[in-house]
Amino acid sequence: MIVQMENTTAAKIEKKLNQLRDENGVVTLGRVLTLVVLAQAGHSEVAVEAANYASHEHPCRIIVHVAHSRTDETRLDAQLRVGGDAGASEVILLHGYGELAEPTETLVSALLLPDAPIVAWWPHDFPENPSTSSIGCIAHRRITDSSRAPAPFESLAQLSQQYRPGDTDLSWTRITNWRIQLAAVLDQVGPVKVREIVLEGSTVAPSMVLLGVWLSSKLDAPATIITDDTRRGLDRVCLVTDDGSVQLHRPGRTVAVLSQPGQPDQQIAMPVRDLNACLAEELRRLDADEVYGEVITSGLASARITTRTVGEEAAEPSENTTVQGHDASASASAEGAGDE
């Protein structure tokens, strides 16, 4: 069921929800959290689709604030989706105009589930300091997506400076399968010294930088990111050791090939993770992601990362993640952000 409400208030929306429950038997029992989505006009449906998908695993109330023009007359329109139109959740879309284009705790407080954790998600751009924003202050977890921000690499630096426990970024979530497989490989090969780490893909995306930082920090080795615009997303990671190279190569979108010295190649199921899967993973935990915290702060500040295009002579590793020879903020696009 979908109900439209124009020029309304949060109190009227809550009253309408109670009425719909009484009339149609829709209940909130089993809702485990409130997901507050801070979206932009014209892009909200993609976020709602991902939230609905995640709600089948994590039944929740979804509050989506859609920011419209701040120069319009101040008003709040709403759309309520309950029952079959809301998956396993209740979806409340708030369209804010004028002064209400800015999402605030006051605006959503009446709609939050009582005694339930709050997760804030910025699917596009995010405030300068998510943890001190009006919504971020009340959230137990704060999810950003530097890959989809207007300036992805400046956003990574910003997240590093403003990090607080409870923060995470979907650029980190997208490389979960890569980290799992590479950690398993390192356990198999034993205490071997990795001399160099090479990551290959189409562009120097934030996910590639975070994976390079994680590997460089854990293995105490320099990392090089090699780009080729004929490829799609991250598709190869190579660990150069004294015994040869260990490579994890995903030429397509579903299967990766693991190559190790002295062993036959091994095929591994490793599909590209879409937005739905990444959001669902982040909602599985409400505690701080300590590994991400280390990578985005101390790791990002000290890792030895260089970048170059195919055929370009390698430069000496730098002591930080400054992208050498590329307009980093322009190289990562929203279309390629999910191909990690």
pLDDT tens digits along 37-83: 999 888 889 999 999 999 988 889 999 999 999 999 999 999 998 87
Give the pLDDT of residue 296.
Answer: 97
From CA 238, how far away is CA 212, in angstroms rounded? 11
> What does the pLDDT look like over 124-135, one tens digit per residue?
889 999 999 999
State pLDDT tens for residues 179-198. Answer: 999 999 888 777 778 999 99
Distance CA 303, CA 318 (A): 8
Q: How confident is the model at residue 85 (pLDDT cuts 50, 70, 90)?
A: low
The predicted pLDDT at position 335 comes to 38
Residues 86-118: tens digit of each pLDDT: 666 789 999 999 999 999 999 999 999 988 999
Inform me whether the pLDDT recorded for 258 exceeds 50. Answer: yes
What is the mean pLDDT of the segment spanning 282-308? 93
Q: Would you say 142 and 117 are in contact if contact means Cβ atoms under 8 Å apart? A: no
- Against a cut of 0.85, is the pTM above it? yes
Integer Cα distance of 10 and 148 in angstroms: 29
Q: Kindly report which listed range (4-18, 131-145, 324-338) carries the lowest average pLDDT score.
A: 324-338
* Dist. CA 126–CA 224, nearest whole Å: 29
Residue 311 in this model has a pLDDT that exceeds 80: no
| Confidence band, pLDDT 50/70/90 cuts, at residue 30 | low
Is residue 20 within 8 Å of 89, Cβ to Cβ?
Answer: no
